[in-house]
Amino acid sequence: MTTLLDFFFDFSSPYGYFAAMRIDELAAKYGREVEWHPILLGVVFKATGAKPLPMVPIKGPYVLHDLERSARFHHIPFTFPAPFPLMTQIAARAMLVIRAEHGAKRATAFAKAVYQAYFIHGIDISALENVLRIVTDQGFHASGISDAVNTPQIKEQLKTEIEAAMRLGVFGAPFIIADGEPFWGFDRFDQLEALLQQNK
Amino acid sequence: MTTLLDFFFDFSSPYGYFAAMRIDELAAKYGREVEWHPILLGVVFKATGAKPLPMVPIKGPYVLHDLERSARFHHIPFTFPAPFPLMTQIAARAMLVIRAEHGAKRATAFAKAVYQAYFIHGIDISALENVLRIVTDQGFHASGISDAVNTPQIKEQLKTEIEAAMRLGVFGAPFIIADGEPFWGFDRFDQLEALLQQNK
């Protein structure tokens, strides 16, 4: 089988960052590729009534602790960023523009760079200028993307893609759909791997 | 080290059931024992604003699916019960009575039997008569426990133990505290095991 894995993430989700650092490698191990779908958890949470985890009473401090420990356990560099959470629509739209103009592979590389900027270097990825710096670092022209991220077309496209994700049952991030099977959370990578092994 | 692991659970939590089927075995592997603490998620959720997972929009159907798959993945017999969730204070209080009168080991055996009655055989463990049947099956006299579970003393004791758990940071179930380190969820057993290995 060569069916793509669908990977849904929000650039502000730390567990999404962990998944992003591992998903391509896991897929490749089983001869698979990954289609990366940026979503906005703010939009999704409106439907489920969820709050960003670290904002939940009592649970919040645990989650911060769990993130640090999970990063160490999985050997992923991580520094909890401030501000957190933040708006990620500019980064998400920039990724869609790059995908349309330069293909999925380079869009995925850009996405990883955005995640690392935020969760390793603490760069405020809600700011257009910071997103554009990553755009430039990835070898693209900032000016074209700077204009494109604010067009009604790209805004509409991101909205449409999020709605499509929700129709597929996506209610959080990271979320992976593999051969029709949904997996929510980086901590389901063991069960995802078992599926990929089984469907080899 | 021979420090006990503290294991907090609600008899209505399916992931708590999975943890209950594995925690003693995991602890024993590292020469540890487990202190079992029944709590009531209803009380805890009042503080955090959480809802039972299967009741959350969009997320609910996924959770049912994840439970079935997780049970298969970990080779734990499981049938999603109805009614779900249900009131578990009678079972929790019965466990405290058994612990006081017959010791922790037999209380733990009773707790496992309650979990299996609910999540394997679909028995309504909110009903006193069903809890008493398990009490009898475990070799205790039903009459003494039937009276004891409704005394103000035992109600107060359960309340006090839940408050103590919340002061330790317990906001959900299953929740394990090992050597001061908190772990929420059956899916953190890998990181819990790493700690037990490290502190051997």
Q: Which residues in chain A have Cβ-Cβ distances shorter than 8 Å to B176?
A: none
Q: Give the residue among B51, B172, B12 at the shortest CA–CA distance from A66.
A: B172
SS3 of residue B80 by DSSP: coil
Dihedral over Cα of A145, A150, A151, A155: its sign: positive
A97, A154 in Cβ contact below 8 A? yes
SS3 of residue B72 by DSSP: helix
**Is A49 close to B57, i.e. CB distance below 8 A?**
yes
Reply yes or no on whether the pLDDT at B1 is more than 60. Answer: no
User: B interface toward A at CB cutoff 8 Å?
Assistant: 47-51, 56-59, 61-62, 65-66, 69-70, 73, 166, 169, 171-172, 182, 184-185, 187-188, 190-191, 194
**Is A182 close to B70, i.e. CB distance below 8 A?**
no
Q: Which residues in chain A have Cβ-Cβ distances shorter than 8 Å to B56?
A: 48-50, 171
pLDDT digits (tens, 9 = 90+) for A43-80: 988 887 777 776 777 788 899 999 999 999 999 999 99
Q: What is the pLDDT of residue B66?
A: 96
- Return the H-helix or E-strand segment holding B169: none
Q: How far is B20 from chain A (nearest CA, A)?
A: 19
Q: Report chain B's mean pLDDT, rounded to a whole number.
A: 94
Reply yes or no on whether the pLDDT at B134 is more than 90. Answer: yes
- Return the H-helix or E-strand segment holding B29: helix B14-29
Reply yes or no on whether the pLDDT at B59 is more than 60. Answer: yes
How many Å separate Cα B56 from the centre of its chain? Answer: 21
Taking residues A106-123, what's their average pLDDT? 98
Taking residues A85-101, what's their average pLDDT? 96
pLDDT digits (tens, 9 = 90+) for A174-198: 999 999 999 999 999 999 999 999 9
By CB neighbour count within 10 A (0-12 exposed, 13-18 middle, 19+ buried), where does B25 fall? exposed
At the second CATH level, the architecture of B5-198 is 3-Layer(aba) Sandwich (3.40)
pLDDT band of B2, cuts 50, 70, 90: low
A44, A166 in Cβ contact below 8 A? yes
Concatenated DSSP letters of A73-92 = HTT------SS-S---HHHH
User: Which value does ipTM take for this structure?
Assistant: 0.91
Domain boundaries, chain B: 5-198
Mutation pick from A45, A69, A181 vs chain B, by most beta carbons of B within 10 Å, is A69
Q: How far apart are the first and last CA of chain B?
A: 7
Q: Give the residue among B51, B65, B58, B125 at the shortest CA–CA distance from B94.
A: B125
C-alpha distances in Å from residue A80, one per residue of A18, A76, A77, B41, B183: 12, 12, 10, 29, 19
Mutation pick from B15, B69, B163 vs chain A, by most beta carbons of A within 10 Å, is B69
CA angle B177, B181, B182 (to 5 degrees): 55
Token representation of residue B112: 């496992």
